[in-house]
Amino acid sequence: MEYKKLLNETRIPQLGLGVWQMSDEEAIESVEEALKIGYRLIDTAAGYRNEAAVGEGVRRSGIEREDIWIATKVRNSNQGYRETFQAFEASLKELQMDYVDLYMVHWPVKATVKETWRAIEEIYQKGLAKSIGVCNFHAHHLEELMETAKILPMINQVELHPLLSQVDLTEYFESKGIVIEAYSPLGNGQILQNESIEKIAQKYQKTVAQIILRWEIQRGIVTIPKSVHKERIIQNFEVFDFTLSDEDMFALSALNQNQRVGTDPEHFEEIFAKKK
Ligand SMILES: NC(=O)c1ccc[n+]([C@@H]2O[C@H](COP(=O)([O-])OP(=O)(O)OC[C@H]3O[C@@H](n4cnc5c(N)ncnc54)[C@H](OP(=O)(O)O)[C@@H]3O)[C@@H](O)[C@H]2O)c1
Protein backbone atom coordinates (compact mmCIF):
# COMPACT_ATOMS: atom_id res chain seq x y z
CA MET A 1 0.00 0.00 0.00
CA GLU A 2 1.12 3.57 -0.64
CA TYR A 3 -0.12 6.51 1.44
CA LYS A 4 -0.68 10.26 1.06
CA LYS A 5 -0.03 12.64 3.92
CA LEU A 6 -2.87 15.07 4.61
CA LEU A 7 -2.63 18.63 5.94
CA ASN A 8 -3.26 17.31 9.47
CA GLU A 9 -0.27 14.93 9.10
CA THR A 10 -2.41 11.76 9.02
CA ARG A 11 -1.74 9.29 6.20
CA ILE A 12 -4.55 8.01 4.00
CA PRO A 13 -4.17 4.78 1.99
CA GLN A 14 -3.98 5.61 -1.73
CA LEU A 15 -6.36 2.80 -2.67
CA GLY A 16 -9.76 2.09 -1.18
CA LEU A 17 -13.09 0.46 -1.99
CA GLY A 18 -16.02 2.59 -3.14
CA VAL A 19 -19.48 1.23 -2.26
CA TRP A 20 -21.88 3.42 -4.27
CA GLN A 21 -24.60 1.37 -6.03
CA MET A 22 -24.04 -1.64 -3.75
CA SER A 23 -27.00 -3.36 -2.12
CA ASP A 24 -26.69 -4.14 1.59
CA GLU A 25 -25.76 -7.75 0.86
CA GLU A 26 -23.16 -6.69 -1.70
CA ALA A 27 -21.70 -4.07 0.62
CA ILE A 28 -21.40 -6.45 3.58
CA GLU A 29 -19.66 -9.07 1.46
CA SER A 30 -17.45 -6.72 -0.57
CA VAL A 31 -16.28 -4.73 2.46
CA GLU A 32 -15.45 -7.92 4.35
CA GLU A 33 -13.60 -9.36 1.32
CA ALA A 34 -11.72 -6.14 0.61
CA LEU A 35 -10.52 -5.76 4.19
CA LYS A 36 -9.37 -9.39 4.26
CA ILE A 37 -7.45 -8.80 0.99
CA GLY A 38 -5.68 -5.78 2.48
CA TYR A 39 -7.80 -2.73 1.63
CA ARG A 40 -7.86 -0.26 4.53
CA LEU A 41 -10.07 2.54 3.14
CA ILE A 42 -13.82 2.28 2.55
CA ASP A 43 -15.73 5.12 0.91
CA THR A 44 -19.45 5.35 1.65
CA ALA A 45 -21.99 8.17 2.03
CA ALA A 46 -25.30 8.69 3.80
CA GLY A 47 -26.79 9.01 0.33
CA TYR A 48 -25.66 5.49 -0.64
CA ARG A 49 -27.96 4.10 2.07
CA ASN A 50 -25.51 1.33 2.93
CA GLU A 51 -23.59 2.71 5.91
CA ALA A 52 -25.08 0.03 8.18
CA ALA A 53 -23.93 -2.68 5.76
CA VAL A 54 -20.44 -1.13 5.63
CA GLY A 55 -20.28 -1.24 9.44
CA GLU A 56 -21.37 -4.87 9.37
CA GLY A 57 -18.71 -5.75 6.75
CA VAL A 58 -16.05 -4.08 8.88
CA ARG A 59 -17.07 -6.06 11.97
CA ARG A 60 -17.24 -9.34 10.04
CA SER A 61 -13.71 -8.79 8.67
CA GLY A 62 -12.23 -8.99 12.15
CA ILE A 63 -9.78 -6.18 11.29
CA GLU A 64 -9.24 -3.70 14.14
CA ARG A 65 -11.33 -0.55 13.75
CA GLU A 66 -8.31 1.71 14.25
CA ASP A 67 -6.52 0.08 11.30
CA ILE A 68 -9.30 1.07 8.86
CA TRP A 69 -10.25 4.37 7.25
CA ILE A 70 -14.00 4.87 7.08
CA ALA A 71 -15.11 7.81 4.95
CA THR A 72 -18.69 9.04 4.72
CA LYS A 73 -20.49 12.17 3.50
CA VAL A 74 -23.32 14.49 4.47
CA ARG A 75 -26.05 14.38 1.85
CA ASN A 76 -27.38 17.53 0.19
CA SER A 77 -30.82 17.43 1.79
CA ASN A 78 -29.23 17.29 5.27
CA GLN A 79 -26.89 20.24 4.85
CA GLY A 80 -26.96 23.21 7.23
CA TYR A 81 -25.32 23.85 10.63
CA ARG A 82 -27.66 21.98 12.99
CA GLU A 83 -28.71 19.55 10.31
CA THR A 84 -25.11 18.42 9.73
CA PHE A 85 -24.64 17.44 13.40
CA GLN A 86 -27.84 15.41 13.16
CA ALA A 87 -26.73 13.83 9.88
CA PHE A 88 -23.34 12.98 11.39
CA GLU A 89 -24.94 11.37 14.44
CA ALA A 90 -27.21 9.35 12.15
CA SER A 91 -24.20 8.15 10.12
CA LEU A 92 -22.37 7.02 13.27
CA LYS A 93 -25.48 5.18 14.38
CA GLU A 94 -25.84 3.43 11.02
CA LEU A 95 -22.15 2.48 10.96
CA GLN A 96 -22.29 1.52 14.65
CA MET A 97 -19.06 3.42 15.16
CA ASP A 98 -18.04 6.22 17.51
CA TYR A 99 -15.94 8.16 15.00
CA VAL A 100 -15.21 8.27 11.28
CA ASP A 101 -11.84 8.79 9.68
CA LEU A 102 -13.04 11.17 7.00
CA TYR A 103 -16.24 13.23 6.90
CA MET A 104 -17.03 15.06 3.69
CA VAL A 105 -19.42 17.52 2.10
CA HIS A 106 -21.00 15.49 -0.72
CA TRP A 107 -21.77 18.42 -3.06
CA PRO A 108 -21.14 22.19 -2.72
CA VAL A 109 -24.79 23.22 -2.24
CA LYS A 110 -24.58 26.99 -2.61
CA ALA A 111 -27.13 27.98 0.03
CA THR A 112 -25.84 25.72 2.82
CA VAL A 113 -22.26 24.63 2.22
CA LYS A 114 -20.63 27.27 4.45
CA GLU A 115 -22.81 26.43 7.48
CA THR A 116 -22.34 22.72 6.77
CA TRP A 117 -18.59 23.22 6.81
CA ARG A 118 -18.77 25.16 10.10
CA ALA A 119 -20.43 22.11 11.67
CA ILE A 120 -17.91 19.74 10.08
CA GLU A 121 -15.06 21.83 11.52
CA GLU A 122 -16.57 21.41 15.00
CA ILE A 123 -17.03 17.68 14.48
CA TYR A 124 -13.32 17.54 13.56
CA GLN A 125 -12.30 19.64 16.56
CA LYS A 126 -14.19 17.26 18.84
CA GLY A 127 -12.19 14.37 17.36
CA LEU A 128 -15.29 12.63 15.99
CA ALA A 129 -14.02 12.87 12.42
CA LYS A 130 -10.25 12.34 12.25
CA SER A 131 -10.00 14.20 8.91
CA ILE A 132 -12.45 16.34 6.94
CA GLY A 133 -12.92 17.07 3.28
CA VAL A 134 -15.16 18.02 0.40
CA CYS A 135 -16.34 16.45 -2.84
CA ASN A 136 -17.09 17.89 -6.24
CA PHE A 137 -15.28 21.17 -5.55
CA HIS A 138 -13.89 23.38 -8.29
CA ALA A 139 -11.46 26.20 -7.45
CA HIS A 140 -14.25 28.78 -7.05
CA HIS A 141 -16.12 26.52 -4.61
CA LEU A 142 -13.04 26.45 -2.38
CA GLU A 143 -12.51 30.20 -2.69
CA GLU A 144 -16.13 30.81 -1.64
CA LEU A 145 -15.86 28.35 1.27
CA MET A 146 -12.67 30.00 2.50
CA GLU A 147 -14.51 33.32 2.96
CA THR A 148 -15.78 31.84 6.25
CA ALA A 149 -13.88 28.58 6.85
CA LYS A 150 -11.29 28.25 9.59
CA ILE A 151 -9.92 24.89 8.46
CA LEU A 152 -8.93 23.97 4.90
CA PRO A 153 -10.50 20.75 3.59
CA MET A 154 -7.86 18.01 3.61
CA ILE A 155 -9.30 16.11 0.65
CA ASN A 156 -11.30 16.97 -2.45
CA GLN A 157 -13.00 13.93 -3.98
CA VAL A 158 -13.82 14.50 -7.67
CA GLU A 159 -14.59 12.49 -10.78
CA LEU A 160 -11.23 11.60 -12.31
CA HIS A 161 -10.13 8.99 -14.88
CA PRO A 162 -8.20 9.01 -18.17
CA LEU A 163 -11.06 10.66 -20.11
CA LEU A 164 -11.32 13.34 -17.39
CA SER A 165 -7.76 13.78 -16.19
CA GLN A 166 -8.46 16.95 -14.12
CA VAL A 167 -4.89 18.22 -14.50
CA ASP A 168 -5.59 21.91 -13.74
CA LEU A 169 -7.92 21.12 -10.85
CA THR A 170 -5.38 18.72 -9.33
CA GLU A 171 -2.60 21.31 -9.64
CA TYR A 172 -4.75 24.00 -8.00
CA PHE A 173 -5.83 21.90 -5.00
CA GLU A 174 -2.41 20.33 -4.53
CA SER A 175 -0.87 23.81 -4.45
CA LYS A 176 -2.95 24.35 -1.29
CA GLY A 177 -1.89 20.99 0.21
CA ILE A 178 -5.30 19.41 -0.48
CA VAL A 179 -5.12 15.78 -1.62
CA ILE A 180 -7.22 14.79 -4.63
CA GLU A 181 -9.25 11.59 -4.43
CA ALA A 182 -10.56 10.07 -7.68
CA TYR A 183 -14.18 8.96 -7.77
CA SER A 184 -15.48 6.86 -10.62
CA PRO A 185 -11.76 6.13 -11.21
CA LEU A 186 -12.71 3.50 -13.82
CA GLY A 187 -15.30 5.82 -15.36
CA ASN A 188 -18.04 3.83 -13.57
CA GLY A 189 -16.91 0.85 -15.69
CA GLN A 190 -17.61 2.66 -18.97
CA ILE A 191 -14.02 3.26 -20.11
CA LEU A 192 -12.57 -0.22 -19.73
CA GLN A 193 -12.79 -1.03 -23.48
CA ASN A 194 -10.39 1.76 -24.45
CA GLU A 195 -7.99 0.45 -27.13
CA SER A 196 -5.10 2.78 -26.26
CA ILE A 197 -5.17 1.66 -22.62
CA GLU A 198 -5.55 -1.95 -23.77
CA LYS A 199 -2.23 -1.64 -25.67
CA ILE A 200 -0.45 -0.29 -22.59
CA ALA A 201 -2.03 -3.06 -20.48
CA GLN A 202 -0.66 -5.75 -22.80
CA LYS A 203 2.84 -4.33 -22.46
CA TYR A 204 2.75 -4.61 -18.64
CA GLN A 205 0.69 -7.82 -18.65
CA LYS A 206 -1.90 -6.04 -16.53
CA THR A 207 -5.60 -5.31 -17.06
CA VAL A 208 -7.01 -2.00 -18.27
CA ALA A 209 -8.42 -1.38 -14.78
CA GLN A 210 -5.00 -1.96 -13.19
CA ILE A 211 -3.29 0.42 -15.63
CA ILE A 212 -5.83 3.16 -14.90
CA LEU A 213 -5.54 2.72 -11.11
CA ARG A 214 -1.73 2.70 -11.31
CA TRP A 215 -1.79 5.95 -13.36
CA GLU A 216 -3.91 7.55 -10.63
CA ILE A 217 -1.66 6.30 -7.81
CA GLN A 218 1.51 7.46 -9.60
CA ARG A 219 -0.07 10.90 -9.98
CA GLY A 220 -0.30 11.03 -6.17
CA ILE A 221 -4.08 10.67 -6.19
CA VAL A 222 -6.16 8.55 -3.81
CA THR A 223 -8.44 6.19 -5.74
CA ILE A 224 -11.55 4.24 -4.69
CA PRO A 225 -12.69 1.75 -7.37
CA LYS A 226 -15.96 -0.06 -6.68
CA SER A 227 -16.52 -3.74 -7.39
CA VAL A 228 -18.82 -6.40 -6.00
CA HIS A 229 -16.77 -9.23 -7.53
CA LYS A 230 -14.06 -10.81 -5.39
CA GLU A 231 -11.72 -11.44 -8.35
CA ARG A 232 -11.98 -7.77 -9.40
CA ILE A 233 -11.54 -6.52 -5.83
CA ILE A 234 -8.31 -8.57 -5.77
CA GLN A 235 -7.29 -7.43 -9.26
CA ASN A 236 -7.80 -3.75 -8.38
CA PHE A 237 -5.54 -4.20 -5.35
CA GLU A 238 -2.65 -5.64 -7.39
CA VAL A 239 -1.32 -2.29 -8.54
CA PHE A 240 1.67 -1.85 -6.27
CA ASP A 241 4.02 -4.32 -7.99
CA PHE A 242 4.75 -2.37 -11.17
CA THR A 243 5.54 1.18 -12.30
CA LEU A 244 4.34 2.92 -15.45
CA SER A 245 7.07 4.64 -17.47
CA ASP A 246 6.97 8.44 -17.85
CA GLU A 247 6.05 7.89 -21.49
CA ASP A 248 3.03 5.74 -20.61
CA MET A 249 1.98 8.13 -17.83
CA PHE A 250 2.02 10.89 -20.43
CA ALA A 251 0.13 8.76 -22.99
CA LEU A 252 -2.61 8.04 -20.42
CA SER A 253 -2.91 11.71 -19.46
CA ALA A 254 -3.15 12.59 -23.17
CA LEU A 255 -6.40 10.57 -23.45
CA ASN A 256 -8.24 13.37 -21.66
CA GLN A 257 -11.43 14.55 -23.38
CA ASN A 258 -12.95 16.38 -20.40
CA GLN A 259 -15.63 13.70 -20.62
CA ARG A 260 -17.71 12.98 -17.53
CA VAL A 261 -19.67 9.87 -16.64
CA GLY A 262 -21.23 11.65 -13.65
CA THR A 263 -22.83 15.01 -12.89
CA ASP A 264 -21.02 18.30 -13.54
CA PRO A 265 -20.48 20.16 -10.23
CA GLU A 266 -21.28 23.43 -12.06
CA HIS A 267 -24.85 22.28 -12.74
CA PHE A 268 -25.69 19.62 -10.16
CA GLU A 269 -28.35 21.66 -8.35
CA GLU A 270 -30.52 22.06 -11.49
CA ILE A 271 -29.89 18.46 -12.56
CA PHE A 272 -30.73 16.93 -9.16
CA ALA A 273 -33.82 19.18 -8.82
CA LYS A 274 -35.13 17.89 -12.17
CA LYS A 275 -34.58 14.25 -11.11
CA LYS A 276 -36.72 14.71 -7.96
N1 LIG B 1 -18.44 11.99 -4.14
C2 LIG B 1 -19.22 11.68 -5.16
O3 LIG B 1 -20.06 12.49 -5.60
C4 LIG B 1 -19.07 10.34 -5.80
C5 LIG B 1 -19.68 10.09 -7.04
C6 LIG B 1 -19.51 8.84 -7.64
C7 LIG B 1 -18.74 7.88 -7.00
N8 LIG B 1 -18.16 8.14 -5.78
C9 LIG B 1 -17.34 7.10 -5.08
O10 LIG B 1 -16.40 6.55 -5.99
C11 LIG B 1 -16.55 5.12 -6.00
C12 LIG B 1 -16.13 4.53 -7.33
O13 LIG B 1 -16.84 5.11 -8.40
P14 LIG B 1 -17.98 4.34 -9.23
O15 LIG B 1 -18.64 3.37 -8.33
O16 LIG B 1 -18.79 5.37 -9.90
O17 LIG B 1 -17.24 3.55 -10.39
P18 LIG B 1 -15.81 2.93 -10.74
O19 LIG B 1 -15.11 2.48 -9.53
O20 LIG B 1 -15.15 3.87 -11.67
O21 LIG B 1 -16.29 1.68 -11.60
C22 LIG B 1 -17.09 0.68 -11.05
C23 LIG B 1 -17.61 -0.20 -12.17
O24 LIG B 1 -16.51 -0.86 -12.80
C25 LIG B 1 -16.65 -2.28 -12.63
N26 LIG B 1 -15.31 -2.78 -12.29
C27 LIG B 1 -14.61 -2.55 -11.16
N28 LIG B 1 -13.39 -3.13 -11.21
C29 LIG B 1 -13.34 -3.77 -12.41
C30 LIG B 1 -12.35 -4.56 -13.04
N31 LIG B 1 -11.17 -4.81 -12.46
N32 LIG B 1 -12.62 -5.06 -14.28
C33 LIG B 1 -13.81 -4.81 -14.87
N34 LIG B 1 -14.78 -4.07 -14.33
C35 LIG B 1 -14.55 -3.55 -13.10
C36 LIG B 1 -17.66 -2.49 -11.53
O37 LIG B 1 -18.43 -3.65 -11.75
P38 LIG B 1 -18.74 -4.75 -10.61
O39 LIG B 1 -19.10 -4.04 -9.34
O40 LIG B 1 -19.90 -5.50 -11.20
O41 LIG B 1 -17.51 -5.58 -10.47
C42 LIG B 1 -18.55 -1.25 -11.70
O43 LIG B 1 -19.50 -1.46 -12.72
C44 LIG B 1 -18.03 4.94 -5.65
O45 LIG B 1 -18.35 3.61 -5.30
C46 LIG B 1 -18.19 5.95 -4.56
O47 LIG B 1 -17.65 5.44 -3.33
C48 LIG B 1 -18.30 9.36 -5.19
Task: Render each residue's pLDDT in the chain as its tens digit; 276 residues.
Answer: 999 999 999 999 999 999 999 999 999 999 999 999 999 999 999 999 999 999 999 999 999 999 999 999 999 999 999 999 999 999 999 999 999 999 999 999 999 999 999 999 999 999 999 999 999 999 999 999 999 999 999 999 999 999 999 999 999 999 999 999 999 999 999 999 999 999 999 999 999 999 999 999 999 999 999 999 999 999 999 999 999 999 999 999 999 999 999 999 999 999 998 887
pTM assigned to the model: 0.97
Report pLDDT for 244.
98
Q: Is 135 in the pocket of ligand 1 (CB under 6 A)?
A: yes
Give the Cβ contact number of residue 93 at 10 Å.
Answer: 12
Q: Is 20 in the pocket of ligand 1 (CB under 6 A)?
A: yes
Q: In angstroms, rounded to a whole number, what is the distance separating the alpha carbons of residues 121 and 151?
A: 7
DSSP state of 15: B
Report pLDDT for 26.
98
Mutation probe of ligand 1 site: the residue of 44, 180, 183, 212 with most atoms within 8 A of C-beta:
183
Q: Let me know if 48 is a catalytic residue.
A: yes
Q: Is 262 in the pocket of ligand 1 (CB under 6 A)?
A: yes
Nearest to 89 by CA among 37, 129, 29, 49: 129
Report pLDDT for 274.
87
**Cα(33) to centroid(ligand 1), Å:** 16
Q: Is 14 in the pocket of ligand 1 (CB under 6 A)?
A: no
Q: Is 113 in the pocket of ligand 1 (CB under 6 A)?
A: no
Q: Which residues contact 229 (CB under 8 A, 6 or more apart)?
A: none
Q: In angstroms, rounded to a whole number, what is the distance separating the alpha carbons of residues 211 and 59?
A: 32
**Cα(270) to centroid(ligand 1), Å:** 24
Nearest to 203 by CA among 260, 236, 252: 252
